[in-house]
């Protein structure tokens, strides 16, 4: 029975010492967008600045930009690639992320040839390891 008591104590100790590692394996991150409205003239390009802290691996990473009011899909990035087939037609061939900077945490959206219909709030949602975090950015179009 002494052997069983030692074995039991060892197993309990092993489980306790491993548990914090298991609990902390989920990556914690935040998404921060520039809090001042971006102002542009019609026909110009706009960049809605947004960052993930800390930066995350591309595998399993999803970055989604939508119009906050309508829910229209502006841009979708999945597992290291853009997914243009998911975009609302209003944004087809008019958006891009800075793909070479995503590994550094830059998930900013470039919207090309802005028009007055593009004014409003945009929501960036970053999903990784089944955790989703979002932040909003605002675009104002002069005129």
Q: What is the pLDDT of residues 33-86, one digit of tens each?
A: 998 999 999 999 999 999 999 999 989 999 999 999 999 999 999 989 999 999
Position 99 scores a pLDDT of: 95
CA-derived radius of gyration, the chain: 22
CATH of 27-141, one of 3.40.980.10, 2.60.40.10, 3.40.47.10, 1.10.600.10: 2.60.40.10
Position 143 scores a pLDDT of: 86
Residue 120, preceding peptide bond in cis (omega within 30° of 0): no
Cβ atoms within 10 Å, residue 25: 8
Has residue 123 got a pLDDT over 60? yes
Predicted model pTM:
0.80
Calpha distance 131→85 (Å, rounded): 24
Cβ-based neighbours of 40, under 8 Å, separated by 6 or more: 46, 114, 139, 140, 141, 142
How many residues comprise the chain?
143
Calpha distance 35→137 (Å, rounded): 7
Cβ atoms within 10 Å, residue 80: 13
Nearest Cα to Cα of residue 40 among 123, 118, 121: 118
Calpha distance 140→121 (Å, rounded): 9
Calpha distance 56→51 (Å, rounded): 11
């Amino acid at each position: 029975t002494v052997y069983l008591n030692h074995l039991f104590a060892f197993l309990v100790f092993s489980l306790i010492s491993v548990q914090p590692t298991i609990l902390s394996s989920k990556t914690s991150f935040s998404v921060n967008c520039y809090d001042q409205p971006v102002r542009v003239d019609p026909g110009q390009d706009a960049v809605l600045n947004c960052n993930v802290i800390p930066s995350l691996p591309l595998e399993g990473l999803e970055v989604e930009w939508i119009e906050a009011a309508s829910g229209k899909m502006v841009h979708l990035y999945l597992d290291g690639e853009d997914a243009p087939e998911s975009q609302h037609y209003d944004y087809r061939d008019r958006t891009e992320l800075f793909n070479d900077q995503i590994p550094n945490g830059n998930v900013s959206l470039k919207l090309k040839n802005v028009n007055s219909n593009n004014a409003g709030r945009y929501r960036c949602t970053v999903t990784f390891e089944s955790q989703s975090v979002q932040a909003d950015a605002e675009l104002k179009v002069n005129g």
